[in-house]
Structure 1
Amino acid sequence: MIWDTAALGGRERYQLLTSLVVPRPIAWVSTRSPERRRNLAPFSYFAAVASTPFLVSVSIGSRGGVEKDTLRNIRQTGAFCVNLATEPQLVPMNESAGEYGPDVDEFERAGLASANAESVDAPYVADCPAVLECRLFKVVELEGGPNTLVIGEVLRVRLADDIPLIPGTLYADTTALRPVGRLWGDLYATIGDMPALKRPSV
């Protein structure tokens, strides 16, 4: 089977992309509007960009040609937090994914407590075990489509005390963190077997 992507409709391209590029980590992004309203929404077009500077990216789509609250808040305040969704938070994370209006507080909707980041003006999910406090680094307009790429500089990393580090490193123990990934449709992935392979020597 071979498809010319230019000949496919948007929904068909989405189906192929989200079923082939899997699992995708989830950026559970929390922001605050200039009017101080809290917002929380998950995005699976999420990636690490660089460690120096410490950058992550989130691709945020529009809704009916209107920017989502997350993107609008980031543009206006230059601040956001990426909460790394984990297995115990899967249900409230999904609850926050609804297409709610700007007057809806997703923290309240999902029954989540929030706390205030220390390095940026944004809330975060209080019991999330791993949080990246981000300052807007760059916005990249993706011409021809509904998505906008947001690149954030991570100013502070918050890690729960019960997530151990691999001795002698700053590697967080993935089995303790228990992150969830996005597949397609209603499907999510959890951490299973993690085979270890040493890189070939030259």
Structure 2
Amino acid sequence: MLLEEKTINKLERVYRLNLINTITGVKPANLIATRSKDGVDNVAIFSSVIHLGTKPSQIGFIIRPAGENPRDTLYNIEETGFYTMNNISESFIQKAHYTSANLNLNESEFKRMNIDQEMISDFHAPFVKDSAVKFGLKHIESILLPNRCTLVIGEVILIKILDDHINELGEIDLESYDCVGISGLGSYYKLKKLNSFPHVKPDEIPSFE
């Protein structure tokens, strides 16, 4: 199959949506949780989380345009300044997936999808209790992109990881807690570690045949 610009733009809407959402491969699966100033907790699934830097420790994610439906996640982040990201494991994929539904503003996905939450220290936003790797962020900036999506940038200020899932180098073993990835809008994949390679230096590159 060869698709060029004119053909791509003429593809049936759902087909094109699925195609473009899957060509980049497997993406990280995270539940992003917030708490409004009124104390209403919100949690939603995102596959657009990206690492931006380590000093300061910055993580970004993309949120789609609100249109006529207000986005609780973005509104709460900009109103309170804090939110959490929680890795998704195989044991609660289905619950996590259904958090993508557009619920009423005052209805919590935690309650509707029966997702257990926990508060850690005095952090403002809730965490997903069953997530093996979770971290709290402080909002730094929201940047409107040309396609009307928003890039939300936050600094990691709290991390909770079970000791069994991290090694002496600080590397998290995603396979050890059945972490999953997303392809497209609703297909989930297991992650299996295949190999580890050292930091690449020009004089240490092997001779490839």
* TM class, shorter-length: 0.7 to 0.9
Aligned-residue identity in percent: 21
Q: TM-score, normalised by structure 2?
A: 0.85
Q: Which residue of 2 aligns with 1:164?
A: 165
Contact 2:61 2:152 in 1 (8 A): yes
Structure-2 change in CA distance of 1:137 and 1:175 (3 Å): same
| Residue number among 33, 38, 46 corresponding to 2:49 in the alignment | 46
* 1:142-181 correspondence runs (5 A): 142-145=145-148, 147-161=149-163, 163-166=164-167, 168-181=168-181
Amino acid at match of 2:61: V
| Residue number among 26, 29, 32 corresponding to 1:26 in the alignment | 29
Amino acid at match of 2:115: L
* 1:109-148 correspondence runs (5 A): 109-118=112-121, 120-145=123-148, 147-148=149-150
Q: Which has the higher helix share?
A: 2
Larger radius of gyration: 2
SS in 2 for 1:62: coil
Alignment partners' CA distance in 2, 1:63 and 1:12? 23
What 5-or-longer segments of structure 1 have no aligned partner?
none
2:62 matches 1:59: yes
Structure-2 change in CA distance of 1:169 and 1:196 (3 Å): closer
Greater than 6 Å deviation, 4+ residue runs: none
Amino acid at match of 1:130: V
Alignment partners' CA distance in 2, 1:35 and 1:6? 48
Superposed displacement of residue 175, structure 1: 1.9
| Residue number among 67, 76, 92 corresponding to 1:89 in the alignment | 92
Query: After the TM superposition, which of the residue ranges 95-104 and 69-78 deviates more from structure 2?
Result: 95-104
Alignment partners' CA distance in 1, 2:170 and 2:193? 22
Superposed displacement of residue 11, structure 1: 5.6
Query: After the TM superposition, which of the residue ranges 168-177 and 60-69 deviates more from structure 2?
Result: 60-69
2:5 matches 1:4: yes
Contact 2:165 2:174 in 1 (8 A): no
Amino acid at match of 1:196: S
Alignment partners' CA distance in 2, 1:53 and 1:5? 42
Contact 2:47 2:182 in 1 (8 A): yes
Q: Which residue of 2 aligns with 1:186?
A: 186
Alignment partners' CA distance in 2, 1:32 and 1:153? 17
Superposed displacement of residue 112, structure 1: 1.8
Contact 2:30 2:85 in 1 (8 A): yes
SS in 1 for 2:169: coil
SS in 2 for 1:35: coil
Count the aligned residue pairs.
199
Structure-2 change in CA distance of 1:6 and 1:144 (3 Å): farther
Superposed displacement of residue 38, structure 1: 0.3
Which whole-Å deviations, capped at 9, do the CAs of 1:32-81 have from their partners, x for residues lacking one?
A: 01111000000111111111110111101134344311011111111100
Contact 1:27 1:58 in 2 (8 A): no
